[in-house]
Chains A and B, each alone.
Chain A
Amino acid sequence: MSTKKPFFSSTYKPVGESWVWVTSMGLAIGLVMILFLLGMIVYNGLEVFWPKPVARVELREGSEAGIRGSTTFAGEIIKKQIKKVAAVGSDAPPGQEYQFYVGNKDAYGFTFKYIDADQIAEITYPQPLMVAERMEYGRAIFEPVELRQADGAVIAADHPDFRPTLDRLITEAGERRRVIRKIERDRIGDINRQLESIRLRKRSLEAKAAPSAADAHQLNEVFPSRVAELQQQFGVLAAEARELRELQEVAKLQVKTPDGSDRTYAIGSLIEVNRPNDLGAFEKVGIFFHRFWTFLSDEPREANTEGGIFPAIFGTFVMTLLMSMAVTPFGVLAAIYLREYAKQGPFVRAVRIAVNNLAGVPSIVFGVFGLGFFVYFLGGTIDQLFYSLSLPTPTFGTGGVLWASMTLALMTVPVVIVATEEALSAVSRGTREGSLACGASKWQTIQRIVLPASLPGILTGLILAMARGAGEVAPLMLVGVVKLAPTLPLDTIYPFFHLERKFMHLGFHIYDLGFQSPDSEAAKPMVFATTFLLILLVVCLNLGAILIRNHLRKKYKTATF
């Protein structure tokens, strides 16, 4: 009797596709790394703004580890770690040590201190300890003693009026600071601009071969009297500013540093004070947002390690927008020719390969090219033609936000070309033929049918270009980024856009803070916060472009036929 072979047999091994998990692992590892990086940046970047408690440290009797011979000091605990080097001549394993932010750089000469854990007798968090944000020397940590007002009245630190009066005086000092700044930067700056313009006009008249009588009158009468007038105005303003500055020094805060010495701070040198050990959760949140806002909107102080980063945010934003405005038409037009008009053949293929390879050229090469072509050649020519009077001081013949944008536009144009070409080729032949059959010319077809339908793809290219351009640092160092720009590329002074100005950039700011600042340890939190903001800015710019793209996609969604 023959047995029929069963259709299914239990002896068959199930055929699994056993290595599929490798693909998911690839994605998972990538995701974990990106999330870790982002999480680290966000945590460290935001932690900077959270008010930390200040510890008062009692060292063991007779310890030499303290500050200026005292066994008491105070500071924020930065970290606790195992010592890297064991004590000399000892076989015992290395003990633990603390790192403190002790502040008071004006008194101590340093801001961070390492203390061995075994030297510490006691750590407490007393409420009277006060932390002050200052114009110079970073933060001060102290116990307040008394407040000496301008009229000689003295308020002791334990008096109930002490804190409100101190806060009021600090607010007033802050307002005075703004007034001084307005005088010095805006009004005196305005006088300087007028003096400069007179100097230039004078030069142009002096350069004339045959000066007329009117010219001589200008040179000998009008200009000197106008200069004298301006200098007199300058004197008045300078005196006004000096007076205000003196007022800043009148009221004083008498304090005792944790190690026991007395110090006096002018109220005008303080920006903000609080008692971190005496704050409720809501107050802490309030301070957090206040500090975050200050960081966003203020200008940097103290070689960029303190204060805000507004000029850098603004500079990055303006540069990225200018770059997008330059790269989009340029890249789209090039892609239209390459895809729609050029005869496809070996030459066009070679051009396409060259464009793709351009994306792989190191960015510093573009920086060098930008310096040579845009700054020295184009900028130099513009200066010769239009700004010859101010020479040898260059106007466009030096790095500036315009040349930086152009350099980055050149660097990112391959991305836009490739994305646009792909978007153009995705518009179906049927749609194009439909348009041609209606009697449209080729250009009309491209302009009215193909380009609108490929806009979402073009925007994708622009998003990639912006992400790459906004994060670029190396080429910018050659073509216009500076450590500290006194003015913004866009302001209320005619002609409003100052494309020749140098600017600050978040990416360069990170490099400068982290690796060029005198106290890189103190700048570390700022590096994280700046990185966080750079990522936030790129995300915001991209989100904007993505929203536009989604809107267009909905508008031009292809048929589901």
Chain B
Amino acid sequence: MSTATLPRTDFSTTMRTQPAVTTAQPSTDGFDPAYIQIKDFSFSYGAAQVLHNLTLDIPERQVTAFIGPSGCGKSTLLRNLNRMNDLVDGVHHKGDILVAGHSIYDPLIEVIALRKRIGMVFQKSNPFPKSIYENVVYSLRVAGRNGKAELDEVVERSLKGAALWDEVKDRLHESAFGLSGGQMQRLCIARAIANRPEILLMDEPCSALDPIATSKVEELIHELKKEFTIVIVTHNMQQAARVSDRTAFFYLGKLIEYSETRRIFQNPSNPQTEAYVSGRFG
């Protein structure tokens, strides 16, 4: 597995303040097995607590799937990883989340800088009312990078990365709304990886797609994990089994079981997990 292409972030190397060991797995290929550490994390919308004392480590350059029935808090947890939930009124949290050993709630970290390192793909594709080209380079433009050569290169690389280049290379300057649903979702993936984040969060990225588009996105996830740490929320058991290396099962805001995907699906240690993955409840 190649690591040469990826520039490392500043905060992963300079601001490591805490030892990154809680539930260490054997290190693979020299990557950090506890790249994202969620530590005793609780979260409430107003008076309603939706996450209860979660603790788990997410390894670098692997795909981690969050599964569980609706309302179990898996999306909420995902949206906390890039602090997207800060936008909602009346939320508060306890515990901490560390990325590369540094707390994302550190007042010294600007939330905008954090989101530049953590890309996100949403359940419902949300292209901007702009051209395909402008959609892809949006994250560079807001960062003040406007050099044409750089943008052209980023557009080609990102669209190729999202397996969309061949389909849209002749109409880059047409509206993004002319694309099909699957193409739009891949455009959103291209947009999320354009600025080369370290982490890619995917919130049910295939829930609105047909099987063909879904399989394209899944192939893409396989490709992307060479470069990115991916966290994916999904309702689709087969998808979790197909794309992920590790799977976490949540139920009512609690982490029920977290292990290698094969174990979760073949030999879960918790009877609730077994009931859910075998389709008997949920």
Contacts and interface: CB of A to CB of B under 8 A. Distances in A.
Contact of B128 (A431, A439, A441, A555): A431
Contact of A558 (B141, B177, B188): B177
Contacts of A281: none
B124 A430 contact: yes
Nearest to A434: B126
B177 A439 contact: no
- State which size class the interface on B falls in: 20 to 34
A436 B139 CA distance: 9
Contact of B115 (A344, A439, A448): A439
Given A558-B177, A561-B181, A434 B142 contact: no
B112 A441 contact: yes
Interface residues of A, number: 25
A561 B129 contact: no
Nearest to A557: B177
Interface in B229-275: none
Nearest to B114: A439
A444 interface: yes
Interface string A490-524: 00000000000000000000000000000000000
A348 to B, nearest CB: 13
B165 interface: no
A431 B141 CA distance: 17
Contacts, number: 82
B237 to A, nearest CB: 25
Interface string A521-561: 00000000000000000000000000000000001111111
B24 interface: no
B125 interface: yes
Interface in B104-155: 112-113, 115-116, 119-120, 122, 124-129, 138-139, 141-143
A92 interface: no
Nearest to A433: B84
A449 interface: yes
Nearest to A448: B142
Interface in B181-210: 181, 184, 188, 191-192, 195, 208
Nearest to A343: B89
B212 interface: no
A557 B192 CA distance: 22
B177 A437 contact: no
Given A430-B124, A444-B142, A437 B181 contact: no
B47 interface: no
B142 A558 contact: no
Contacts of B1: none
A428 B126 CA distance: 9
Nearest to A556: B129
B48 interface: no
Looking at A431, A436, A449, the one whose CB has the most chain B CB atoms below 10 A away is A436
Interface string A425-457: 000101101111111110010001100110000
Nearest to B141: A448
B109 to A, nearest CB: 13
A407 B129 CA distance: 36
B128 A434 contact: yes
Contacts of B195: 438-439
Nearest to B113: A439
B133 to A, nearest CB: 14
Nearest to B125: A561
Contact of A436 (B115, B124, B127): B115
A438 B115 contact: yes
Contacts of B127: 434, 559
A439 B112 contact: yes
Looking at A344, A436, A439, A448, the one whose CB has the most chain B CB atoms below 10 A away is A439
B75 interface: no
A428 B113 CA distance: 24
A438 B177 contact: no
Contacts of A433: 84, 87, 120, 122, 126
A435 B119 contact: no
Contacts of B124: 430, 561
Contacts of B188: 434
Given A431-B126, A439-B143, A449-B128, A560 B115 contact: no
A549 to B, nearest CB: 15
B177 A559 contact: yes
Interface of B: 82, 84, 87, 89, 112-113, 115-116, 119-120, 122, 124-129, 138-139, 141-143, 175, 177, 181, 184, 188, 191-192, 195, 208
27 contacts: A344-B89, A430-B126, A433-B84, A433-B120, A433-B122, A435-B128, A435-B138, A435-B142, A436-B87, A437-B82, A437-B84, A437-B119, A438-B138, A438-B139, A438-B192, A439-B113, A439-B143, A440-B142, A441-B112, A453-B129, A557-B129, A557-B175, A558-B129, A559-B125, A559-B127, A561-B181, A561-B208
Given A430-B126, A561-B184, 19 more contacts: A344-B89, A428-B126, A433-B84, A433-B120, A433-B126, A434-B128, A434-B191, A435-B138, A436-B87, A437-B120, A438-B116, A438-B139, A438-B195, A440-B112, A448-B138, A555-B175, A557-B129, A557-B175, A561-B181
- The 8 closest A-B CB pairs, nearest first, are A439-B116, A438-B139, A437-B120, A556-B129, A434-B126, A430-B126, A440-B142, A439-B115
